[in-house]
A and B are shown apart, each in its own frame.
Chain A
Amino acid sequence: GAVVSQHPSRVICKSGTSVKIECRSLDFQATTMFWYRQFPKQSLMLMATSNEGSKATYEQGVEKDKFLINHASLTLSTLTVTSAHPEDSSFYICSARDGSIAQETQYFGPGTRLLVL
């Protein structure tokens, strides 16, 4: 079945540093990848939609200069949290859509837990 990996699974960083999170589709080509954020006991919040080879589409209220997304290949998208602050501490989850099938199923990665000190 469709497998999506994320790396790292957990990261602790100091305030002001940048953190890069990788999302990979392991056994399919993902024409579209999505980045979500989830705070404890809250809903999934879509941050941006990323299409291979083009600029990401950000949801309202998400700062594109702070959350840099690159989708350079059909199997890899990266999210960079620039100048991270404690309020950016959250659970970041990517998902990927298999471009070879008509159904628009999203497969989620295991998530990355970010803690900014």
Chain B
Amino acid sequence: QKEVEQNSGPLSVPEGAIASLNCTYSDRVSQSFFWYRQYSGKSPELIMSIYSNGDKEDGRFTAQLNKASQYVSLLIRDSQPSDSATYLCAVNVANAGKSTFGDGTTLTVKP
């Protein structure tokens, strides 16, 4: 079992819809959770970080964390074609010194 698992997709949604991206992790002592977006041929860029259970909203993005169920999700409201990218989930265990990344979910938003 991978430490951080994501559905590879591709996930396809129509423009204006809500895109839901999910991530599960195996280490119960994980403390910090991050979502990155990576456009084709580019490096990852940070979208959201979340540290406590519940929802965290930033513009059209909402991160949701449920530590009891060991999952973190990213919702993208009013999806735009420019949101088409690979979304990477990253998890930090305290004092581990590094992040563990999932393999990413590829999202396509169709006009």
Report the minimum CB–CB distance from B72 to chain A (whole Å). 15
Q: Pick the contact of A46 from B32, B42, B51, B98 — CB < 8 Å?
A: B98
Taking CB atoms, residues of chain B closer than 8 Å to A105 are 32, 34, 46, 49
Please name the 9 residue pairs, one residue from A and one from B, whose CB atoms are nearest each other, closest first: A111-B43, A43-B103, A108-B43, A104-B92, A93-B43, A108-B44, A104-B32, A44-B101, A49-B98
A106 touches B97 (CB 8 A): no
Interface size range of chain A in the complex: 10 to 19
Taking CB atoms, residues of chain B closer than 8 Å to A49 are 97-98
A-facing residues in B62-111 (Cβ within 8 Å): 88, 90, 92, 97-99, 101, 103-104
Residue contacts A-B, CB under 8 angstroms, 5 given: A46-B101, A103-B32, A103-B49, A103-B51, A105-B32
Query: Chain B CB within 10 Å — which of A43, A107, A111 has the most?
Result: A43
Main DSSP-derived SS at the A contact region: strand
A44 touches B45 (CB 8 A): no
A110 touches B46 (CB 8 A): no
Taking CB atoms, residues of chain B closer than 8 Å to A103 are 32, 49, 51
Q: Does A67 contact B (CB under 8 A)?
A: no
Q: Pick the contact of B42 from A44, A106, A107, A111 — CB < 8 Å?
A: A111
Q: How far is the CA of A106 from the CA of B99 in the complex (A)?
A: 8
Q: Pick the contact of A110 from B42, B92, B99, B103 — CB < 8 Å?
A: B42
